[in-house]
Structure 1
Amino acid sequence: MKLLITGANRGLGLALTTEAVKRGHTVFAGVRNPQRHSDALNHLSSLFPNKVKLLQLNVADESTCQAAAEKLRADHISLDVIINNAGILDERSKTIEEIDIEKVEQTFNINLFGPMRVVKYFLPLLYKESDSTVINISSEAGSFQNAYGGDYPYALSKSALNMFSEQLRNYLKDDEVSVYAVHPGWIKTDMGGEKAPGTPEESAHGIMDIIERKTKIIHNSSFINIKGEAMPQ
């Protein structure tokens, strides 16, 4: 399979890229600046030179999304999977009285509008068939039932991302393309912190099992965890 993964230079994005290429897939690794990507991604590229393809892609900049998609189209490349992984968590632990609205807008620009931009330009490159998948990396913070009165920009943007995922799922249902908003768990990343009980590698393994249909989804929810179980809406 050919996968597009945004935010592929670190954290979960890097783990997803690593897991995918180890399983024999080709990854178009979306990074804001290919010349300044992480040493880990550089090492992975050297180990799998024909499987890791760096792609300049800033999800906050629509022109780079369009240019990246046009580059793949010019090379006659189609995709099997789109993973919208790039995201930020800003204004952590701020009360509603304290938050900077510009930071809220920036969070939505990356966490919600970013995936929308990616899908807008890359969906025409996605095979419309039952083996194709769009994954939006979400969070339990986006659940109405789990609302905890904090992390407003992140939680609200992920809740909106869940809605976008459900809309996209219905849009593509006749094409049998699977669309999921996936809660990756609390994992040790720059965002999750060192106290997190899970690892990016564990989450990446679970997400790839969903993509490869090794995990069977037996419900009708588009908001799931890495085991394929439905998350509270």
Structure 2
Amino acid sequence: MAVERTVPPVALVTGANRGIGYEVVRQLADRGHRVLLGSRDLAKGRAAAARIDPGGERVTVVQLDVSDEASVAAMAEWVTRDVGRVDVVVNNAAILYDTWAQARSADLGEVQRALDTNLFGAWRVTQALLPLLRRSPHPRVVMVSSEAASLQSMSGGTPAYGVSKAALNALTCLLAGELRRQRVLVNAICPGWVATDMGGGGGRPVADGAAGIVWAATLPDGGPTGGFFRDGKPVPW
């Protein structure tokens, strides 16, 4: 009697050649996912994938600049044609942690650039892959957010980053409500202050920050949707 092979779930992680995204790829691959490692720089993406999966059986690189509509469209076309499915989308790509700036004097060009990656990038990628997500038996969308986006604690500073992540939280709520009947779980995750190139030194280990994102990516059916979490616990909006 032939044994039926289980097809591994497919996860796309944006901005994944380093930092939290890289660790999310590693943890998902360790859990048995086939992971598509999105990277603006293809060479850096290939080097990152080779460190995680030298044999290339679990991690595949895809060139992806979330701020570029053509790049997102090309990614979605390739995934649809060559992979044929997506079960998890982790919108991790982000820029401009502008600790030097104040809202009263912010460079609005910088704010617009942050919005184009941190908000619209996630929006583009999710829309582009939604047809595949709808066909998945267990579809999940994870928005990598930040406590800097919490309106309850927001009091000034990092205007481009904070506003763009707050808008990403709003998008999370909208998509969760619209896709609830289609079983797509959509949540925002704060990984905490993590020791990465963007976060700087002194933060928590990258593996700890990534674990909360992986938690949301692997939620069971019937799990929460439309929430904002850190380490599996709610964060005030």
Instruction: Tell me, yes or no, if structure 1 residue 211 matches structure 2 residue 217.
Output: yes
Displacement of 1:40: 3.8
One-letter code aligned to 1:9: N
Equivalent residues of 2:189, 2:212 under 8 A apart: no
Note closer, same or farther for the CA distance 1:151–1:129 as it changes in structure 2 (3 Å cut). Answer: same
**Equivalent-residue separation in structure 1 for 2:225 and 2:132 (angstroms):** 26
Note closer, same or farther for the CA distance 1:130–1:39 as it changes in structure 2 (3 Å cut). Answer: closer
Structure 1 window deviating more from structure 2 (111-120 vs 199-208): it is 199-208
Equivalent residues of 1:221, 1:230 under 8 A apart: no
- Equivalences for residues 40-189 of structure 1 within 5 A: 40-46=48-54, 48-128=55-135, 131-189=138-196
Equivalent residues of 1:210, 1:216 under 8 A apart: no
Displacement of 1:23: 1.3
Deviations 1:124-179 (A, max 9, x none): 11145662210000011111101021100000001000000100001101011100
Structure 1 window deviating more from structure 2 (93-102 vs 12-21): it is 93-102
Output the TM-score relative to the length of structure 2: 0.89
One-letter code aligned to 1:111: N
- Where does structure 1 lack aligned partners over 5 or more consecutive residues? none
Instruction: Tell me, yes or no, if structure 1 residue 226 matches structure 2 residue 231.
Output: yes
Instruction: Tell me, yes or no, if structure 1 residue 201 matches structure 2 residue 213.
Output: no
The answer for the alignment partner of 1:5 in structure 2 is: 13
Structure 1 window deviating more from structure 2 (29-38 vs 140-149): it is 29-38
**Matched-pair identity in %:** 34
Number of aligned residues: 229
**Equivalent-residue separation in structure 1 for 2:115 and 2:132 (angstroms):** 25
Displacement of 1:72: 1.3
Note closer, same or farther for the CA distance 1:90–1:184 as it changes in structure 2 (3 Å cut). Answer: closer
Structure 1 window deviating more from structure 2 (103-112 vs 69-78): it is 69-78
The answer for the alignment partner of 2:5 in structure 1 is: none
One-letter code aligned to 1:230: P
Deviations 1:169-199 (A, max 9, x none): 0110101110001111111111111111x12
The answer for the alignment partner of 2:22 in structure 1 is: 14
- Candidates 28, 33, 50, aligned match of 1:25: 33
* SS of equivalent to 1:41: helix
Output the TM-score relative to the length of structure 1: 0.91
One-letter code aligned to 2:207: E
- Where does structure 2 lack aligned partners over 5 or more consecutive residues? 1-8
